[in-house]
Structure 1
Amino acid sequence: MSAILLLNGPNLGILGQREPEVYGTDSLADIAQAVREEVAGPDWKVVSIQHDSEGDLVRAVHDNYDTVGAIVNPGALMVAGWSLRDALANYPRPWVEVHLSNVWAREQWRHESVLAPLASGVVVGLGALGYRLGARALLALAARESA
């Protein structure tokens, strides 16, 4: 069975309640279900992990090297998550960075991600749809790798 890692960082566990005008009304469970639907099939599963602690996210990356790819929303760790960056630098598969809001239309401090240069791609500003697009990209990348 093939698996995709769905990794979400600080404050994303309260999606649906947290500033819905910025982050939308979908909960993290709704988003995880949407990703499951996107990769639907008996041979696919989604490993969904959310932590508010960077160290727990690092451990989740290390523990999931066997996945075929990852969708990562690091939240605010995008600007200072250096240990998460190091963990993702060693992750042996493609991964996509996703942000619900358009980070470049927000505060200046959100305009640079320390993770993005390592990502296979970045999706921003498309709300929960961005996770589905990230899943589609990973399926295409996985197919290309296995061809």
Structure 2
Amino acid sequence: MATMLLMNGPNLGILGRREPEIYGTATLDDIEKLVIDEVSDMGWEVRSVQSDSESELIGAIQDNYDTVGAIVNPGALMIAGWSLRDALASYPRPWIEVHLSNVWARESFRHESVLAPLAAGVVVGLGPLGYRLGARALLCCVTGDDRA
């Protein structure tokens, strides 16, 4: 069975409690279930990783080269996560960058992602739906079928 990597960075383990006016009330478990629902019809499993440590996220990428692709919410590591960027540059599969909030409607330091140029696509500002859309986009990237 094919496995997809769902990777979430710093502070995303406390979703639902963390600034709900910005990030909403959905928990990371809720989001994982949305992604599983989206890809299960294709027979894909989801391997979820969340860490507040950049080094652990790098290890997760390197340990999951066998996955079919990834959805990555790097959190604030999008701004200066250069080691994470290097790890994602070596990841041999397509991946989609996702952010719950619209980063361009927030503080100016959030307006540029060092990771986005490497991603197959980026989804921002749509809350948990963004993960679902990211999963759909990843299905299209991997299968080559834009109806996925």
Aligned residue-pair number: 145
CA–CA separation in structure 2 for the residues paired with 1:42 and 1:86 = 30
1:134 is matched with: 134
Unaligned runs of 5+ in 1: none
- Give the CA deviation at 1:144: 1.4
1:61 is matched with: 61
CA–CA separation in structure 2 for the residues paired with 1:19 and 1:72 = 20
For each residue in 1:38-63, what CA deviation from the matched residue of structure 2 results, as whole angstroms up to 9, or x when unmatched?
00137310000000000000000000
Unaligned runs of 5+ in 2: none
Structure 2 residue matching 1:101: 3-state secondary structure? coil
TM-score, L = length of structure 1: 0.96
2:10 is matched with: 10
Q: Percent sequence identity over matched residues?
A: 72
CA–CA separation in structure 1 for the residues paired with 2:144 and 2:70 = 16
CA–CA separation in structure 2 for the residues paired with 1:2 and 1:142 = 11
> Does 2:95 match 1:95?
yes
2:22 is matched with: 22
For each residue in 1:86-134, what CA deviation from the matched residue of structure 2 results, as whole angstroms up to 9, or x when unmatched?
0000000000000000000000000000000000000000000000000
TM-score, L = length of structure 2: 0.96
CA–CA separation in structure 1 for the residues paired with 2:51 and 2:137 = 24
User: Residue type matched to 1:29 in 2?
Assistant: D
User: Residue type matched to 1:135 in 2?
Assistant: A
2:119 is matched with: 119
1:109 is matched with: 109
More divergent stretch after superposition (24-33 vs 136-145): 136-145
CA–CA separation in structure 2 for the residues paired with 1:44 and 1:122 = 21
